[in-house]
Amino acid sequence: MEFSWDLVINAIVTGIVLGGFYAAVAIGVTIAFGMLDIVNIAHPAFMIAGAYLAFLGWEDFGFDPFVSMAVFAPCGYLFGRAFYRAYHYFFERRGDESLQGLAFFFGILFIVEIGVVLVFGVDYRSISEPYLESSVSVGFVSVPWRMLVPFLVGLGMLGSVHLYLSRTFTGRTILAVSQDVEAVRLIGANPIRAKEIAFGIAVATAIIAGVLLIIIQPVEPSITREYIGRAFAICVLGGIASIPGTLVASLILGVAEALTTTFYGPSWSPAVSFGLLLLTLIFRPVGIFGR
Amino acid sequence: MGFLMMSCSRKKSKGLILANSLAIEGLHAGYGEVRVLSGISINVRGGETVVLLGTNGNGKSTLIKCIMGQVRPTAGRIVATIDGTSYDLIGRSTEDIVGIGISLVPEGRRLFPKLTVEENLLLGAFREFARARISDSLAFCFDAFPRLKERRRQLAGSMSGGEQQMLAIARALMALPKILLVDEPSVGLAPILVSKTIETIANLKKQLGLTVLMAEQNFRQAIRIADRGYVLVHGQIVLSADNPQALQQNELVRRFYLGVG
Ligand SMILES: Nc1ncnc2c1ncn2[C@@H]1O[C@H](COP(=O)(O)OP(=O)(O)O)[C@@H](O)[C@H]1O
Ligand SMILES: [Mg+2]
C-alpha cells in the first residue's frame, strides 16, 4: 500500500483499540502463566467457550453481550476454581505439572475445539446489536463501537484486576505465591486457595475476552490458534507477571499488527506476534516490566 | 543506633505475657526413613527467651518446623498456650498455627524477593487478627526499622543481608504473634550485624511482651539474650540450662562451642 500519514494515524488508532482487546485476552495468561506457574495453553479454549456462550445467549435468549458477560463470567470463575482443584490434585500436587500438565491443557484445548465443532459446526457465527454497528469519528479517524466496546472493557478489566491484586490480602498473596509457597504458609495464608481463586479469575477474564471477540468479529472453532501465540507473546513482552506490562505489550502488539496489516496486508499479522516474541527474547528477555 | 529505638505504645500487661507458652514432650520426627529428632522435650514459659543451641545438622530447624506444622512428627506432643487457651499443634496446618498467634522468622529469611519491602510487610498481616491493626503495625515496624521505611518501595531481593533479616523479623511481627520463633538469624551476616540483630530481637521481645524461642549455632551471641537454653546434639537434648550462666559455665559448651577451657 502507498504510504500516507493518514493511513499511519488510522493504523495507530486502530492498533491501540485492538490492543485493549488483546489485553483482555492476555491478562488471564499473565495470571496463570506469570503468577501461578501454570502453562495454561487452553486459555484460548476458555475464550471461544465464552464467544459461543455469548452467541447462544444472543440467539436463544436475546442477551445483549454485556448481559452475557455478567452471566457467564461468574460461571467461568467458579468453573476455573474447580478446574484448578482438579489440576492441582492430579498434576501439581505430585510434581507432574511440567510435561503431563502441558499435555492435559493441550487435551482440554482439543476437546473444547472439537466440542464446539460438534455443537455449532465450522461455520462462522456472529452477533449484532444496533449500537455496535455505529461509529465514533474524530476528524478523518473513525472507530466502530464493535471495536471500542472491547477496548474499554479490556482496560476496565485490567484496571480491576490490578487493583484487586495490589490492594487486597488475597490479591497480594496471589502475587507472592509463585515466589515461595512455604513462605506464603508462614504468613498464615493458604497458597492453594490463593492459586484457586487466581485461576478462577483467569478463566473469568477468558470468558469475557470471548464475548469481546464475538463482538469484534465472526468466530469459528479454530480461531483459538491465532490467540495462543498472541497471548503468550504479550505475556513475555510485558514481563511475565506484570499487569502494566501486559497493557503496554498489548498496545505495542496491536499497533504493530495494525501497521503491518495496513502496509503489507492482513496475511502477515499472525507473524507479528512471533516476531515480537523473538525480539523480546533476544533484546530484553525479562520483558518490559520484568522484575 | 536508630533501629533499636522503638515506641513502647504496644507494651503488653504482665498477665498476658505469662499466658503464652509452649510445651514439647517426647517429640520424634524425621524425613521418610531418616530419623532426625528422638525424644525431644522442651518448654518455653510465658515471656521467656529460650535459645536452642546446636551446630549445623543437629535438628534445630526440624524441631522448629514441627512446631510450625511444616514437618509432621511421628510421636510426641506440642501444646501451645496463647492468652490462657491451650492448642494441640500436631496435625494443624501452618496457616492455622500462624492464625493462633505463633510466627516464625524462618531460616534463610524466605522473603518474597520480587515484591517490595512494603508489600512484604503488608503480607505479614494476613492473619485475621492482624488485619484490623495493620496501619499501627506498619508504623511500628517503620519506627523500629527506619531503614525499611527508607526502602519501602525497593524490591526485597535487592537489599543487603542485614536489611533482609530486619525485614524478615518485621514481617513476622506484622502478624502480631504472641510467640515468636526465630531460626538462625545470624546466618550469612557480618559479625557486627549478628550482634545487632540479636539485640534487636531482645529489644522487640521486651517492647511487645513476646515469648521467644530462637535456634542458633552462634552460642556466644545467643547466650547474651537467653533466659534459658537447650543444647541439641544429633536430635537429642544433651543439656538443659536454667540460666545463661549455666550455659556459659558448662564444661561441654565451653570446650566445644565457645572454644575456651
Ligand atoms: N527436607 C529434608 N529431607 C531429608 N533430610 C533432611 C531434610 N531437612 C533436613 N534434613 C536432615 O535432617 C538433619 C537435621 O537438619 P536440620 O533440622 O536442618 O538441622 P539444623 O537446623 O540444626 O542445622 C540433617 O542431617 C539434615 O541433613
Ligand atoms: Mg537449621
Q: Is the pLDDT of residue B1 over 60?
A: no
CB A253 within 8 A of CB A230: yes
What is the pLDDT, as a whole number, of residue A128?
92
- Residue B36 in 3-state DSSP? strand
Residue B62 in domain:
yes
Query: Quick one: residue A39, left, alpha or beta (phi over 0 = left, psi -120 to 50 = alpha)?
Result: beta
Contact B104 A169 (CB under 8 A): no
Which band of pLDDT confidence, cut at 50, 70 and 90, is reported for residue B9?
very low
Residue A291 in domain:
no
Which band of pLDDT confidence, cut at 50, 70 and 90, is reported for residue B258?
confident
What is the pLDDT, as a whole number, of residue A95?
80
pLDDT in tens, A113-132: 999 999 999 999 999 999 99
Rounded to 5 degrees, φ, ψ at A221 are -60, -35
Residue A285 in domain:
no
* B252 CB-near residues (< 8 Å, 6+ apart): B231, B238, B239
ipTM: 0.91
Residue A69 in domain:
yes
What is the pLDDT, as a whole number, of residue A102?
87
Nearest-angstrom CA–CA distance, A29 and A179: 17
DSSP label at residue B13: P
Work out which ligand 1 atom sits closest to the CA atom of B59: 17
- Average pLDDT value for residue range A259-272: 88
CB B211 within 8 A of CB B217: no
Nearest-angstrom CA–CA distance, B157 and B114: 6
CB A72 within 8 A of CB A207: yes
Residue with more model confidence, B27 or B17:
B27
| CA nearest to A241 within chain B | B114
Q: Is the pLDDT of residue B14 over 70?
A: no
Residue B236 in domain:
yes
Give the domain extent around A74.
18-227
Q: Name A137's bridge partners.
A: A142
Contact A187 B123 (CB under 8 A): yes
Distance B58 CA to ligand 1 centre (A): 7
Residue B26 in domain:
yes
| CA nearest to B171 within chain A | A187
CATH of the domain at B48: 3.40.50.300
Contact B95 A188 (CB under 8 A): yes
pLDDT in tens, A178-232: 999 999 999 999 999 999 999 999 999 999 999 999 999 999 999 988 898 899 9
What is the pLDDT, as a whole number, of residue B18?
53
Residue A106 in domain:
yes
Residue with more model confidence, A223 or B7:
A223
Distance B174 CA to ligand 2 centre (A): 23
Residue A132 in domain:
yes
Residue A52 in domain:
yes
Interface test with A, best of B100, B109, B121, B123 (most A CBs within 10 A): B123
- Average pLDDT value for residue range A161-178: 96
Among A149-158, A278-287, B43-52, B227-236, the range scoring the smallest mean pLDDT is A278-287
Cα-based distances in Å from B22 to B19, B213, B240, B241: 10, 9, 16, 17
Residue B49 in domain:
yes
Q: Please report the DSSP string for B56-94 in residue order.
A: TTSSHHHHHHHHTTSS--SEEEEEEEETTEEEE-TT--H
Q: Is the pLDDT of residue A147 over 60?
A: yes
β-strands B228-233, B49-53 pairing = parallel
Using N-to-C axis directions, what is the helix angle for A169-176 and B117-124, rounded to 10°? 120
Other Cβ atoms less than 10 A from the Cβ of A133: the count is: 10
CB A49 within 8 A of CB A190: no
CB B3 within 8 A of CB B141: no
Distance B108 CA to ligand 1 centre (A): 14
What is the pLDDT, as a whole number, of residue B12?
43
Q: Give the residue among B255, B179, B162 at the shortest CA–CA distance from B214.
A: B179
Task: Please state the domain count of chain A.
Answer: 1
Give the domain extent around B79.
19-101+215-261
Ligand 1 pocket at CB < 6 A? B 31, 34, 36, 54, 56-62
- Average pLDDT value for residue range A77-101: 89
Q: Is the pLDDT of residue B15 over 70?
A: no
Residue A11 in domain:
no
Please give the grid coordinates belonging to residue B258. 565457645
Q: Is the pLDDT of residue A35 over 80?
A: yes
CB B244 within 8 A of CB B226: yes
* A9 CB-near residues (< 8 Å, 6+ apart): A140, A141
Upper half-sphere CA count for residue B182 (Cβ side, 13 Å): 34
Q: Please report the DSSP string for B132-154 in residue order.
A: TTHHHHHHHHHHH-HHHHHTTTS
Residue B35 in domain:
yes
Residue B244 in domain:
yes
- Average pLDDT value for residue range A104-118: 93
DSSP label at residue B180: E
Which band of pLDDT confidence, cut at 50, 70 and 90, is reported for residue B4?
very low
pLDDT in tens, A59-69: 999 999 999 99
Residue B252 in domain:
yes
- Average pLDDT value for residue range A120-148: 92
**What residues in B contact A186, CB-CB < 8 Å?**
68, 94, 98, 103-104, 106, 110
Which band of pLDDT confidence, cut at 50, 70 and 90, is reported for residue A1?
low
Q: Give the residue among B247, B235, B254 at the shortest CA–CA distance from B50.
A: B247
Long-range contacts, stretch B36-39, CB < 8 angstroms, 24+ apart: B36/B62, B36/B235, B37/B62, B37/B63, B37/B66, B37/B73, B37/B235, B38/B235, B38/B236, B39/B76, B39/B236
What is the pLDDT, as a whole number, of residue B261?
56
Task: Please state the domain count of chain B.
Answer: 1
**What residues in A contact B98, CB-CB < 8 Å?**
185-188
pLDDT in tens, A11-21: 999 999 999 99
- Average pLDDT value for residue range A2-10: 86
CB A231 within 8 A of CB A30: no
Q: Is the pLDDT of residue A27 over 90?
A: yes
Helices (H) and strands (E) in chain B, counts: 12, 10
pLDDT in tens, B171-211: 999 999 999 999 999 998 999 999 999 999 999 999 999 99
- Residue whose CA is at the smallest distance from ligand 1 atom 1: B31
CB A288 within 8 A of CB A244: no
* Whole-number average pLDDT of chain B: 91
What is the pLDDT, as a whole number, of residue A285?
87
* Whole-number average pLDDT of chain A: 93
Nearest-angstrom CA–CA distance, B171 and B124: 5
Contact A179 B171 (CB under 8 A): no
The rounded percent of chain B whose pLDDT value lies above 90 is 85
* A266 CB-near residues (< 8 Å, 6+ apart): none
Q: Is the pLDDT of residue A107 over 50?
A: yes
The rounded percent of chain A whose pLDDT value lies above 70 is 99
Q: Is the pLDDT of residue A36 over 50?
A: yes
